[in-house]
Structure 1
Amino acid sequence: MYLYKLFHFYFRLPVLIRLLLTVSILMLSFGIIIHVIEPEHFPSIFDGIWWAFVTGSTVGYGDFVPLSSLGKIIGILLILTGGGLVTFYMATVSSTTIKREEAIKRGDTVFKGKHHIIFIGWNERARQLLAMLEELNKKEHVVLIDRTLKQLPQQAGDCHFVRGDPTSDDILAKANIQEAAYAVITADPAKQESHADQTSILTTLALRGNNPKVYIITEILTKEQLSNAKRAGADTVIRSNDFMSTLFFHEIFRASAVQPFEMLLKILAKQQFSLTDVSEELAEQTFLQISNTLVSAEYLLIGIVKQHEIMINPSYDTIVTTEDKLLLLEPM
């Protein structure tokens, strides 16, 4: 019964561990045997084990050599069994390493880190976010989930890739959603806006169901789906279409010649944004009053986050409370 449990435990071990254990037992056995047969040429058991490993791996230093006929027979058996087993072990290690690398590229491996950021969907916004993290030297672990990619893009850097449907519990488990700190859901540019928003909302529901504590940032394209995204569990909803439409409007109807619109976007991309709490001194003031106060410190107030909604350039008489956050453009 004991031997049955021992063999059962042995065969449940990973193949590399089983092979390493087998090689070690084989070399130890031959080392002890050669020490017993020729104690004058192999003074200690360690010398015998050293000879077994050197001979079995076909290195052959020649510092210990059996001289008796029985010792030479033991050496032949060691070369036939140990040499082949060691070669098979090394080939298995190489094959397992290659398969592991291929699985990582295909997105078939499980992420085991904690307090990481999950990006849902590979697109230009996700690529720029990763580039910004790298540029600002943010040492954050990032997991990318995408169903369309066949392997991890080179532009994604060293982030962990999980291929599959982000609404699937199994795929989210591969991304270790239960230990994630943040999740960023970007809208799918390949879909119609309404369909893209529906997918984002379903993904938000799946994320919230698997981790009630993860901070979810969801991009929504249509205003009608804003409330649904909040009900689904999004902590912050980004309405990217509203922001871009405002920029286009100001570009079309600008009164005087200014820098081209494309140049304006490049400048904004290089600027450092920050999200800060509202101090007691600034609380209960209007957006205009706070904006005038921050100008003296060379900070440009471009919006606020009120009740998990990002408001770019709200009405000047909007009252800002300590529960809100300020979206600032820091000086260059």
Structure 2
Amino acid sequence: MRLQMVWRWYFQIPIYLRLLLTVMFFMFLFGIVIHLVEPDHFPTLFEGLWWAFVTGSTVGYGDYVPVSTTGRIVGILMILAGGGIVTYYMVAVSTGVMKQEKELSKGHIAYRGKNHVIVIGWNERSRQLLKMIKEFVPAEDIVLVDSTLELSPNHNFHFQFIKGDPSLDETLKRANIEEARFVIITSDQSKEEKQADQLSILITVAVRGLHSNVSIITEILTKEQIANAKRAGANTVIRSNDFMSTLFYHEIYREEPVKPFDLILEQLSSQQYKEYKIPNHLIGESFLTCSNEFVIKDELLIGIIRKGEFNLNPPFQMTLEDNDQLITLANLR
């Protein structure tokens, strides 16, 4: 009965472990046998095991060889049985690794890590985001979820690709949504704006339903859908159309167009916005005084949040009040 239980357990373990145990069994078996058959040439069990592993792996150093007829017969059996098993094991492992890599590239392997960032949708915005993360936070664990890609675009970035519809629970669970720290939902701009926003909201609902505490950043194209995205569970809503329209407007109507405007935007990509609760010693002080204090920290004070309203570049003489939130711009490096 005990032997039957061991036999059943043997066939239930993964095939690679099963093959490894089989290889170890034969190596130890032939190592013990050769030690018993030729104790003069293989005085210890270790010498027998060493000969078995070297012979079975077809390395054949020749430092230990059987000299008797019985010992050579054991060697022949070792080469036929043990050598074949070792070769089959190596082929199986190599084939498994290649299959694993292929399935990983196709996005079929579930992610097992924790505290990671999930980026939904492959487009120029997500590509640029991954580039920035790689440059400034190279240790960050990223999972890309997309339904249109056939193979992972992981050429210059380090992330795991999950192929599937991000609005489905099955896809999000393969991305290990329950253990994620952030989810960024980018808008599918190949669709009409209304349809793209509806899809982003649907994905937001699916993510929030599976993880009630994860921080969700949702990109929305139309202003009318912002409230729906927040109701769906988005912590932050990015209005990409409004942002780009504002940039276009300022570039057209500034008195002297800034020629290297693209360089300015590139510099902004290396900056980080920070939010602080106003320190007690700065309550009642002017915005200028507070700005000077942050300059010492190599941070630029650009505005305050007061009663839910953001005031960008307020007058320097503005007096700061209790419960004000300070917004600064700091270098990522």
Report whether the alignment pairs 1:269 with 2:270: no
Aligned ranges 1:184-199 → 2 under 5 Å: 184-199=184-199
Q: Contact 1:275–1:325 (CA<8 Å) still a contact in 2?
A: no
Output aligned runs, 1:107-256, within 5 Å: 107-155=107-155, 157-254=157-254, 256=255
TM-score (norm 1): 0.87
SS of match in other structure, 2:302: strand
Matched, 1:27 2:27: yes
Residues 302 and 105 (structure 1), Cα distance of their counterparts in 2 relative to 1, 3 Å cut: farther
Percent identity of equivalent pairs: 48
Matched, 1:258 2:263: no
Letter of the structure 2 residue corresponding to residue 224 of structure 1: E
8 Å CA contact 1:111–1:176 kept in 2: the answer is: yes
Point out where structure 1 has 5 or more consecutive residues left out of the alignment: none
Letter in 1 for 2:26: L
1-structure distance, mates of 2:49, 2:89: 18
> Residue type of the partner of 1:276?
E
CA distance in 2, matches of 1:157, 1:290: 41
CA deviation profile, 1:253-308 (whole Å, cap 9, x unmatched): 33x12214xx32431231213131231569999xxx7589538847252686987x
Question: Which residue identity does 1:270 align to in structure 2?
Answer: Q
Counterpart-to-counterpart distance in 1, 2:237 and 2:282: 23
Q: TM-score, normalised by structure 2?
A: 0.86
Query: Residue 45 of structure 1: CA displacement?
Result: 1.6
SS of the residue aligned with 1:5? helix
Cα distance, 1:92–1:155 mapped onto 2, change above 3 Å:
closer
How far apart are the structure 2 equivalents of 1:4 and 1:283? 77
CA-atom RMSD, angstroms?
Answer: 3.0
How far apart are residue 313 of structure 1 and its match?
Answer: 5.3
Aligned residue pairs total: 323
Conserved 8 A contact 2:302-2:313: no
Shift of 1:97: 1.2
Which residue in the other structure is 2:291 paired with? 294
What's 1:278 paired with?
277
Shift in alpha-carbon separation, 1:279–1:227, aligned structure 2, 3 A: same
1:97-131 Cα shifts (integer Å, max 9, x gaps): 11111122111112211111110111111111111
Measured in 1, the distance between the counterparts of 2:165 and 2:323 equals 35
